[in-house]
Amino acid sequence: MNAKNLIKRVTIIGAGNVGHNFGKAFRQAGYVINEIYSRTQSSALLLSQTLNCDYTTDLKSIKSNTDLIILAINDDALETVINQIKIKDKIIVHSSGSTPLSLFNDKGFKQYGIFYPVQSFSKNETESLENIPICVEGNNDNTENLLYSFAKSVSTKVYAMDSKKRKALHVAAVFANNFTNHMFHIADDLLKQNKISFEIIRPLLEKTAGKLKTETPLGAQTGPAVRNDLKVIESHMEYLKNQKDYQELYGLITANIFKAQKKK
């Protein structure tokens, strides 16, 4: 199936990071951005100018001459927004990792689904979706096939995945992205306290991610917890005694590494 025969015009609900990235990628792939919706006029206007399309701040009045409505908004706003959408005969999808397909159940939509990109988008830069994995799900085979084909037209890595698996993936992504980034923040903070440049640990960061090209994270693990180097661990815990949050995290993650290595 070629999505472009059935999906030509796309409406984007939300003008944040995800909306920006979607808009540019869809336009680039040859789709018409029919309309942008945002709660705030300035955001809606900004993105509509970038994409050279119409915009609205009124959900009830979104134009019906569209083929796909894609929600690019925070998870906790999804239900409220979905309840306000009057157009029921077009395909509607959300882009959330955690929210099940069933959120669309019994709202009167005929065709609905998920278009979830496994990426963390930045405010400042738009990127091609080409190498970003996209997970799709549909309320029936026809919808799922259509969404698969649509996703394939913007990304080379498309996965059909049910809501349960997608949630597991989203939890994993939080560990692999948000939590690792927080570890980097703690490192940065500890370095700043000592007037040491973050640059000094950059080769280490690059090595850590690089190793995972050829090894599993469990196999690639190094450090005092793996060596069972209790002297070092104690001295680090002592170092962090006045920074209880960091000390607590240090202790808990170290204990977790012990356990993971034992199970190996």
Query: Mask of contacts with its own copies, 135-154, x by CB under 8 A?
Result: --------------------
Question: Taking CB under 8 A as the criterion, which residues in 41-60 touch its own copies?
Answer: none
With contacts defined by CB under 8 A, name the span among 20-28, 57-65, 71-79, 146-154 that binds its own copies: 71-79
Q: Does 76 bind its own copies (CB under 8 A)?
A: yes
How big, in percent rounded to 5, are the helix, strand and coil portions of the chain? 55, 15, 35
CB of 206 to its own copies, least distance (A): 7
- Residue from 7, 10, 147, 161 in contact with its own copies (CB under 8 A): 161
CB of 216 to its own copies, least distance (A): 6
Max CA pair span of the chain: 68
The whole-angstrom separation of Cα 207 and Cα 100 is 36
Q: Does 83 bind its own copies (CB under 8 A)?
A: no
Q: Does 262 bind its own copies (CB under 8 A)?
A: no
13: which residues sit within 8 A by CB, 6+ positions away?
Answer: 19, 37, 59, 62, 69, 70, 71, 72, 73, 81, 85
Q: Does 81 bind its own copies (CB under 8 A)?
A: no
- DSSP annotation of 59: G
| Cα–Cα distances in angstroms (integers) from residue 48 to residues 45, 61, 68, 69, in the given order | 5, 16, 17, 16
Q: What residues pair up with 33 in beta bridges, in sequence order?
A: 10
Q: Does 253 bind its own copies (CB under 8 A)?
A: yes
Q: Does 156 bind its own copies (CB under 8 A)?
A: no
Of 21, 60, 17, which is closest to residue 37 (Cα–Cα)? Answer: 60
CB of 118 to its own copies, least distance (A): 6
With contacts defined by CB under 8 A, name the span among 42-50, 52-60, 84-92, 236-244 that binds its own copies: 236-244
